[in-house]
Amino acid sequence: MTDAAAEPVAAAGPAPRLRVQAMKEYHPPLGSRELMRLDFNENTVACSPRVREVLGSISASALTRYPEREPVEAIVAAHLGVAPQQVALTNGVDEAIHVLFEAFLEAGDELLLPVPTYTMYEVYASATDARAITVQAGDDLQFPFDRLLAAITPKTKIIAIANPNSPSGSVATRAQLLDIAQRAPHAVLLVDEAYFHFHRETLIDRVGAIPNLIVARTFSKAYGLAGLRLGVLAGSVELMRWVRRVLSPYSVNSLALACLPPALADAAYLDWYANEVLLARTEFEAAIDAVKLRRWPSRANFILVDIGPRHAEFVRLMRAGGVLVRDRSSDPGCDGRVRISIGTREQMRDAAIVLNEAAAALSLGAEAK
């Protein structure tokens, strides 16, 4: 019998790169979301009925083939008004950001970020050897244009701007974005237009004309395809050539590729949903004002609200009332603030009732006043 004491001691497992060990972690608060979903800025109703029809018609044999993204990229390019060589479909905008950073950021480079903003910019930057430089917005959470310009250096390689921004809902103007692109010709300007359909202003018409501009869009918000994971990058042919070199050829699955064309074609459904959200946003802003809570002006499908020290209790009470909202207190400059996504008018009227009850239970109006 082998002497157990003589057996080799198992060594520790292989260690990852030091950069990976130092990466920022992101833990989405998912799970048990069978309530009113006002926490992730998703479409709160459904995708287009045309998408559901296509899903029901996909054969089992179709799933045995590797996906081909190029034909659908041509459809997306035509929809955006750019050339097929100027777009790349991705597995959500998260992959788009990851691939872009892998393609352009190296040791000694700087990623310039106005904050607070989308968390994944810093997460993916931390996987590279570049350094993230943050520019803090003021208490009004408006785009810190002048401070951002002052932070541009020869080391700036990417400037990432969510427009509209999350969690604030604030925007950078077209003139400001064009000025930034001109002031930093050595850097990629990423304009993330995830909430374009609620803001309705874009730089997509300048793709190609501005050599350092890349615009990102997602199909997870207004289109209601978050579960299929679809995003797109649009930029000059030269920039996209390097993005494609890093991008996996099969990262966008066949179901997503089959569903995207009918989603794009159903403009009536998209317009209905976006308009419904804008009307609901106006109504819900009035509901927030009625309980005397501070909020920030938003051009997106969410509103940031100042709850104060009892923000965690507020989130708990909203959940107990059947409404999920997102605590953003850990974001830079957002202590005590909660983001509430906007759904339909009917949904938001129900949410307003729960908001009133939670505010009354915590005496929030008196505190904010």
- Which tens digits make up the pLDDT trace of 331-359? 999 999 999 999 999 999 999 999 999 99
Residue in the structure block whose two tokens are 């190029």: 70
* Residue 306 phi, psi dihedral angles, 5° rounding: -90, 110
Statement: residue 275 has pLDDT above 80: yes
What whole-number distance in Å separates Cα of residue 124 and Cα of residue 131?
Answer: 11
CA atoms within 13 A on the CB side of 293: 31
Average pLDDT along the chain: 94
pLDDT at position 368 is: 43
Exposure class string for 112-150: b at 16+ Cβ within 10 A, else e: bbbbbbbbbbbbbbbbbebbbbbbebeeebbbbbeebee
Beta-bridge partners for 113: 134
Beta-bridge partners for 156: 110
What confidence category does residue 2 fall into, taking pLDDT thresholds of 50, 70 and 90? low
Q: Where are the alpha helices (DSSP H) in the chain?
A: 18-21, 49-57, 70-80, 92-104, 120-125, 145-151, 174-183, 196-199, 237-246, 254-265, 267-290, 311-320, 345-362, 364-368
pLDDT tens for residues 59-86? 999 999 999 999 999 999 999 999 999 9
pLDDT tens for residues 25-66? 777 766 667 899 999 999 999 999 999 999 999 999 999 999
DSSP symbol at 20: H
Give the pair of three-digit tokens for residue 43: 């479409």
pLDDT tens for residues 120-143? 999 999 999 999 999 999 999 999
Give the pair of three-digit tokens for residue 60: 């089992």
pLDDT at position 33 is: 73
pLDDT tens for residues 146-195? 999 999 999 999 999 999 999 999 999 999 999 999 999 999 999 999 99
The predicted model scores a pTM of 0.93
Statement: residue 112 has pLDDT above 60: yes
pLDDT at position 12 is: 75
Torsional class of 32: left (φ above 0), alpha (ψ -120 to 50), beta (otherwise): left
Order across the sheet with 131-136: list the strands: 87-90, 231-235, 213-218, 188-192, 156-162, 110-115, 131-136
SS3 216: strand
